[in-house]
Chains A and B, each alone.
Chain A
């Protein structure tokens, strides 16, 4: 069964460092998302991406965050200068087409900022 894959599964970084989280969405999907989940809390929307540009973003997705689809398969989330409060599980998700439907989530990348 096709799946969304994410790397790394866990990254530990020092405050102020740049982090790149990588995702390979399902190959025929067109819409891509990043969500985050702080430990024990709800899953929060960060950004959606379609046709090589951001469709929507939340208040969390400030200037420290960026997304990119550099090569037609990877979808990356970059945090320029990490803060302690960026520690969370980051989930990538993809959707086959427009409208509504099943978002397929990856297993997540756990980011720990020290």
Chain B
């Protein structure tokens, strides 16, 4: 089974801190994604990466950056955390081929910024 592992299940950070959320997948997938999920707003795409060092902005990239130095790892960075970034963060990957296009999600990181 494909596994997408997010490093932390729960995180509490202070306003202004630099925060790193890590995501690792073990199936050599080209594509990786970061979403955030908020009540009433659903899932919204923050960033997408289609290869090492390649990225595209999603719908809500402001306040975030990403890093993909190795194919299996995709990091989301909150440069200066703010309370409005309190949310559930979900990482996903897929292999980009038409044979199996489905996303696989990690279990999520619930981030609270105080």
Are A and B subunits of one complex?
Answer: no
